[in-house]
Amino acid sequence: MFNWNVDEERSKKEDPEGYRLWRLEQLINYGFEKGELDVEELKAAWPKIKENIDPYKARLVEFILWDKLYSLPPNITFWNWPPRKTK
């Protein structure tokens, strides 16, 4: 994965934990190559990053990792996604 608008080297040095979480979010939301995602790392970071993941992708990740079945509300669309929580 290549992100053209972020200085990844600087982010790694200044905030390694924040960079790791940001990178996981980017990989899930925008795609990744085969074998690029560490499942154990994702499981450990999931509580911190799940609010920043697209709701449908988050649902898929939870199904794949924990076999969790649930339904999203049928009225969620691009226009009425819940606002992100600020940290």
**Residue 2 domain flag:** no
**Residue 57 domain flag:** yes
Total length of the chain: 87
Structure tokens, 49: 């990053």
pTM of this structure: 0.65
Residues 6 or more apart whose Cβ sits within 8 Å of residue 52: 25, 29, 84
> What is the predicted pLDDT for the residue at 49?
92
> What is the predicted pLDDT for the residue at 35?
67
Query: For the chain, how many structural domains are there in total?
Result: 1
Structure tokens, 74: 């049928």
> What is the predicted pLDDT for the residue at 38?
85
Residue 59 lies in domain: 8-80
**Residue 86 domain flag:** no
**Residue 85 domain flag:** no
Nearest Cα neighbor of 61 from 84, 77, 37 is 37
Per-residue pLDDT of the chain (87 residues; tens, 9 = 90+): 556 567 777 878 888 888 888 888 888 888 877 767 888 999 999 999 999 998 888 888 888 888 887 765 666 666 666 666 666
**Residue 36 domain flag:** yes
**Residue 87 domain flag:** no
> How far does CA 59 lie from the centroid of its chain?
11
> What is the predicted pLDDT for the residue at 75?
63
Residues 6 or more apart whose Cβ sits within 8 Å of residue 69: 63
**Residue 48 domain flag:** yes
**Residue 38 domain flag:** yes
